[in-house]
Amino acid sequence: MPQHSQLHRLALRAVAPGLLCLTMSAGAAFASDDDAPAKPSVPNVYLDLRTIYATIPAGALGLGFGNTSLSAAFEALAARQGATLPNGLPAAKSIAVDLPLTVDVSDRVSLYGGVSGSTTDIGGGWSSFDVTSWNIGVQADLYQQNGGTIPTITLQSTLTQSVPNEQGMTTSFKNILEFDYALDKDETRGWLAGVQYTYTDVASPVVRIRPNTILYAGGYYQWPSNWKFTGRLGVQSFGGAQLAGRTLAEPFTQPILRLDLDRMDDNDNRLFGITAQIAWMPKPSYQLTLRTPLYAVRN
């Protein structure tokens, strides 16, 4: 019971920012603003398919920007098989697929939820491809710049839980707060700054995974052809992971780089995207992500 109560408290802490976002966004939606663009009558509905390939050095978890499926898979590996890994976590290669169903409720709020699967090679060949986690989340603009001097402020909150539901199950709470300062009215170029904070709870009395924090800055540029480039450079700080007092993953504070190239339509809906990430842990971890959203409804 104490552990379930703790999980309930953690879940409330994770969901509270999202509820705050929805409340603020709903208030903004009913506010009178004659200059605001007309909102579509039907929300965007799409499967935000993401295919991820990653290399992870020995003694590290699948950390970085937005790595829900990779993090869940390696956190669960550490929790369930840590006792059988005398030399700590091995170097690995992983392929993961994220399938979050996303609904853009308005131009301010998006809701999403789905499952993720992965296969991993830790030196003995690729494992079978299995569903390894599910997630739900919300992304909301707390404030929109709309040509003003205050940047757009966006909060994204995600709850991810590994499967199956058994000893060693992990539950992660990730929050991203980002500031977007556009340099033109059409918001085709601008600066970014933000923070990502991830807390993980493990259903095991002997395993502890400490929080992971990323501070970053960057910018973006969108060409008239609707190709958009975004770059983020930051510092990632991880507190490490322990099993019964033995170190599974060392703590570190190291740089991280993410580069995005996206093809957008005239209404800024993503049609295709590719992301390259290098994260030092302290040895480099490489990740390539393809985003191919499948639209049921696109405005």
Q: Which domains does the chain have, with CATH numbers?
A: 2-24+44-297 (2.40.160.40)
Distances (CA, A) of 73 to 56, 79, 218, 261: 12, 10, 29, 26
pLDDT of residue 2: 44
Tokens of 191: 């600066």
pLDDT of residue 177: 98
**Interval 122-150: pLDDT, tens:** 888 898 998 989 999 999 999 999 999 99
Contact status, residue 14 vs residue 173, Cβ threshold 8 Å:
yes
Smallest Cα–Cα separation from 142: which of 106, 108, 169?
A: 108
Distances (CA, A) of 110 to 17, 25, 50, 105, 293: 14, 11, 17, 5, 14
Tokens of 18: 């999202």
3-state class (DSSP) for residue 23:
helix
Q: Which amino acid is at 75?
A: E
Confidence of residue 15 (pLDDT cuts 50, 70, 90): very low
**Interval 190-244: pLDDT, tens:** 999 999 999 988 888 888 889 999 999 999 999 999 999 999 999 999 998 887 7
Q: What are phi and psi of 289, to 5 degrees?
A: -125, 130
Measured distance CA(253)–CA(190) in Å, rounded = 27
Contact status, residue 280 vs residue 257, Cβ threshold 8 Å:
no
Residues 6 or more apart in contact with residue 130 via CB below 8 angstroms: 117, 118, 119
Measured distance CA(131)–CA(98) in Å, rounded = 10
- Across the chain, mean pLDDT equals 84
The DSSP 8-state label assigned to residue 59 in this structure reads T
Residues 6 or more apart in contact with residue 71 via CB below 8 angstroms: 61, 62, 63, 160, 172, 198, 200
At residue 76, does pLDDT exceed 60? yes
pLDDT of residue 31: 42
